[in-house]
Amino acid sequence: MNALRLSELTTTAVGGPAAKVVRAETEEELLAAVTAADDAGEHVLLVGGGSNILASDAPYEGTVVHVASRGVVVAEAEDGAVLVEVAAGHPWDDAVRETVARGLAGLETLAGIPGTAGATPVQNVGAYGAEVSQTIESVRTWDRTERRECTFTAGELAFSYRDSALKRSMTAGSPRHVVLAVTFRLLRQEESLPVRYAQLATALGVEVGETAPAALVRETVLRLRASKGMVLDPADRDTCSTGSFFTNPVVSHEELTDRIPADAPRYPVLDARGHELPGAVKFSAAWLIDHAGFGKGFGLPGTRNELLDLDGESVAGGRASLSTKHTLAMTNRGGASGEDVAAVARTVQRGVAEVSGVVLVPEPVLVGLSL
């Protein structure tokens, strides 16, 4: 029997054969699979929706645990809020849709993000001015080092932009803490939380800081994401990616140089609860990529970066490219290898550094690859 390939489990559809793949549909199966692999001294790679992994085509010599647990449990909190516990393998967008349908506000701006609920606190997933850190109550995990279950509060997870204590404890893409379930503190109301993102506010016809019906916010976010190729669609090669490949760079005031153009869009850096942090500014990675001469579709036949005198097709033979809708996504145009996709990302990363002096940081977990 042919070994299952990581390309079958990831949204970029790249990755080599795995020595062993175990599908865990319950929390008990997840714990058993991870414990068995640890007992055998095997490397462990957790895969949920596969939307945050870019893997090489070399064989993965370890155990891949496909996290497919399901379940949403809703409970009323004493202070009137609503606590929603979501199983680690539950599809994230399904969880968002269900909470909005139940008349709960807090997750509506995070609609359409691929992957599973268990991955959201690790990366502190966010979009359109919101991050999961702003609504997470706690995360229940299995500590592979101490061999015990432990629960972290939001404060203990030390969230920051696209980062958390869970992520910082990972080694070569393998976590110390296996997420079992995530609990969110939501509000029972039809109106959304205040809209923080200007593009979303404009699309909704409200001012930044105002609210709108949560269901309408969710629908609008899905429409905006789809226009950028950020909602999975098997018929659209622009969605064959990890989504936004690079995080928006955060630069301290001391590190600011005149190599970053004065007209580069700048945004405040927020803490886990959405309060502005002093001393640093966040830049748009997409803007910096475009400013460095990388247009939409770079990598396809006929594309060039005139600023840096680069032929697009020569990077990966046209098999991988920037999305034709959004310069932050590295896409598999069909038949690409993991190295093809990494080559496009590496070219962009080096080009941005050459032009602006900013080194973009990749968002997905790289398995057997480097930039």
Q: What's at 364, amino acid-wise?
A: P
Burial 287-326 (b: 16+ CB within 10 A, else e): bbbbbbbbebbbbbeebbbeeeebebbebbebbbbbbbbb
Question: Among residues 133, 174, 192, 244, which one is catalytic?
Answer: 244
Q: Is 337 a catalytic residue?
A: no
Pair of tokens at residue 262: 């004065």
Q: For residues 364 and 330, what is the distance between their CA atoms, to the nearest angstrom?
A: 11
Query: Which of 225, 188, 205 has its CA nearest to residue 109?
Result: 225
Question: Among residues 5, 97, 162, 237, which one is catalytic?
Answer: 162
Q: Is 146 a catalytic residue?
A: no
Q: For residues 164 and 159, what is the distance between their CA atoms, to the nearest angstrom?
A: 4
Q: Is 244 a catalytic residue?
A: yes
Torsion of CA 48, 10, 223, 167, to 10 degrees: 50
Looking only at the bridges linking them, the beta strands covering 44-47 and 60-67 are parallel
Cβ-based neighbour number of residue 31 at 10 Å = 15
Close Cβ partners of 354 (under 8 Å, ≥ 6 residues apart): 292, 308
Q: Which residue has the tokens 């701006």?
A: 109
From the number of C-beta atoms within 10 Å of its C-beta (0-12, 13-18, 19+), residue 28 rates as: exposed
Cα–Cα distances in Å, from 23 out to 60, 136, 233? 16, 26, 24
Q: Identify the bridge partners of residue 22 per DSSP, sorted by sequence position.
A: 65
Query: Which of 8, 11, 14, 16 has its CA nearest to residue 51?
Result: 11
Instruction: Tell me which residues are annotated as active site.
Output: 162, 244, 363
